[in-house]
Amino acid sequence: MKIYDLIGIGFGPSNIALAITLEEQKQSGYGIESFFIEKQPNFAWHANMLLDNAHMQVSFLKDLATMRNPSSHFTFINYLHQKNRLQDFINLKTFFPSRHEFNDYLTWAASHFDHCCAYGEEVIEVLPEKRGDEVALLRIRSRNREQVVHERLTRNLVISIGGQPRIPESFAPLKGDPRVFHSNNYLKEIKHHPHAKKIAVVGGGQSAAEIFMDLHHRYDKAQVDLIMRARAIKPSDDSPFVNEIFNTDFTDYVFNSSDQQRTEILNEFWHTNYAAPDLVLIEQIFNVFYRQKVAGIERHRFLRRHEVKQAVSQNDGIQFVLHDLNTEQDRTATYDAVVLATGYNRDYHKLLLAPILPYFGDMQVDRQYRLNSVAQFKPSVFLQGACESSHGLSDTLLSVTAVRTHEIAQALISASNQTTSAQLKRAMPSALAY
Ligand code: NAP
């Protein structure tokens, strides 16, 4: 069986950026043969959150390549040039393109790598391949839509699978109920509820805010309850000094800090990214409620400081027991559809790696995003987007992606040089002895 230098699980922005870096390294003479496996049938970037008015929250200059190599073919500016839109984009005078356009850019970039990406295959297992006492390779098992299982061998692995929908515990019993869905599936699911009269949106982050406004425009009359535990919707702080935490050199600072300092940094800046919609969006929501007051009609409700204590499936809807955290009172409300804009978990890689977890001890990563392993475990396993606790808040965002892939590529090249020289030593001991 063919042995790849690197297999990547997932083909979203992080692994596309890595494919680009490796391609450009090839032009400098470093050949890493890589292959990527993507669950979706074709490239799509959060397809179910491509709302009409949604735009990027990160500057287009933090694209797949510019921060690493501004003269790359794969910059957003070159994409615009190729599409004959560069001048029009300049006239837009924005750093924040629509998500539709950025998705198109990512699709364009991904299309250059169709020869080394299997779409529509879900990785189901990562198994160790032993040579004597050593784990020399990894066997990656994936299953396609026709349930056919594929196996591939690799010397190294990079996992870049994004987040998995976080479902609050009170909603666990409703799994499979089509009236309850996560923001991750919003556009796909909401179209099944054209006649909904009461809709709940749970959460107070960018997803909840975007979905609230989308529902407000999508329906003429439906009532939307925006339900969150916080006292207020707070904006993301993207002022320049704060934004420096997303600079690439800040990663060094976070990584080299003590555990306690790192926790303090994460806590201090948590709201730059989480539960923090754009100010403009917050103002739009406030405006909706203000206009309701002027008209004297209470269509939507803003249920701040409310927690969903219980959610029960009934014939006429999903009944919530809503706990008011201010008054400690409970009340009930019934909804035709419920959107859980409750964020994402980023620990699914542990499940994928279950058969080899014992080789990784406490699952710490080094500066180059590689899981520390015992000496007998030879492959390097890198994580992209799951190292926030060690590398800082930029880890789950586009901010450092281009530069991070350079760091991973360097680690791969030096690991592959070491392997080659070890193989040479084994193959030609006498030649090397001279
Ligand atoms: P998020 O920022 O993590 O917010 C999740 C929200 O769900 C928070 O308000 C949180 O409230 C609430 N929540 C979590 N668990 C809960 C529970 N058990 N019960 C009740 N509420 C709960 O998630 P997100 O809005 O999906 O954003 C995720 C990332 O995607 C962010 O980086 C965001 O910027 C990005 N994003 C970008 C765009 C764009 O570029 N246009 C669009 C959407 C999202 P608590 O604070 O009370 O825990």
What's the confidence (pLDDT) of residue 44? 95
CB 201 less than 6 A from any atom of ligand 1: no
> Measured from the CB, is residue 9 less than 6 Å from ligand 1?
no
The reply to whether ligand 1 has any atom less than 6 angstroms from the CB of 168 is: yes
**Of all atoms in ligand 1, which is nearest to the CA of residue 57?**
40
Which atom of ligand 1 is closest in space to residue 168's alpha carbon?
18
Which residue has a Cα nearest atom 21 of ligand 1? 203
- 228 CB within 6 A, ligand 1: yes
Whether the CB of 341 sits within 6 Å of ligand 1 = yes
Distance CA 284, CA 288 (A): 6
Centroid of chain to Cα 301: 30
In 325-431, the DSSP E strands lie at 330-335, 337-340, 344-345, 380-383
**Is the minimum distance from the CB of 207 to ligand 1 under 6 angstroms?**
yes
Residue nearest to atom 46 of ligand 1 (CA): 275
pLDDT of residue 415: 80
- Token readout for 118 is 């299997």
> What are the beta bridge partners of residue 188?
none
The verdict on the CB of residue 230 being under 6 Å from ligand 1 is yes
Give the ligand 1 atom nearest the CA of 170: 18
Please give the full DSSP string across 373-397, using - where no structure is assigned: --TTB-SEEEESS--HHHH-GGGGS
Fold of 166-236+273-340: FAD/NAD(P)-binding domain (3.50.50)
Tell me, what's the pLDDT at 416? Answer: 73
Q: Where in the chain is the domain with CATH 3.50.50.60?
A: 3-163+346-427, 166-236+273-340
| 275 CB within 6 A, ligand 1 | yes
| DSSP secondary structure, 207-274, as one string | HHHHHHHHHHHH-SS-EEEEE-SSSSPPPP---HHHHGGGSHHHHHHHHTS-HHHHHHHHHHHGGGTS
Closest ligand 1 atom to Cα of 397: 32
Which of 103, 164, 166, 207 maximizes ligand 1 atoms within 8 Å of its Cβ, making it the mutation to test the pocket?
A: 207
Cα 270 to averaged position of ligand 1 atoms, centre (Å): 11
pLDDT at residue 420 in the model: 52
Cα–Cα dist 141/128, whole Å? 11
Candidate of 225, 342, 393, 395 to mutate for ligand 1, largest count of ligand atoms within 8 Å of Cβ: 342
- State which fold the 3-163+346-427 domain adopts: FAD/NAD(P)-binding domain (3.50.50)
Q: How far is CA 4 from the centre of its chain?
A: 25
Distance 48 CA to ligand 1 centre (A): 15
Whether ligand 1 lies within 6 angstroms of the CB of 229 is answered as yes
337 C-alpha to ligand 1 centroid (Å): 19
Neighbour-count burial for 348-386, b at 16+ CB within 10 Å, e otherwise: bbeebbeebeebbeeeebeebbbbebeeebbbbbbbbbb
Residuewise pLDDT in 10s, the chain (434 residues): 999 999 999 999 999 999 999 999 988 777 899 999 999 999 999 999 999 989 999 999 999 999 999 999 999 999 999 999 999 999 999 999 999 999 999 999 999 999 999 999 999 999 999 999 999 999 999 999 999 999 999 999 999 999 999 999 999 999 999 999 999 999 999 999 999 999 999 999 999 999 999 999 999 999 999 999 999 999 989 999 999 999 999 999 999 999 999 999 999 999 999 999 999 999 999 999 999 999 999 999 999 999 999 999 999 999 999 999 999 999 999 999 999 999 999 999 999 999 999 999 999 999 999 999 999 999 999 999 999 999 999 999 999 999 999 999 999 988 876 665 454 444 333 333 22
What per-residue confidence (pLDDT) applies to 419? 62
pLDDT value of position 2 = 95
Nearest residue (CA) to ligand 1, atom 11? 203
Does residue 385 have its Cβ closer than 6 Å to ligand 1? no
pLDDT (0 to 100) of residue 28: 79
Q: Does residue 205 line the site of ligand 1, with CB under 6 A?
A: yes
The pLDDT assigned to 425 comes to 45
Closest approach atom of ligand 1 to CA 236: 34
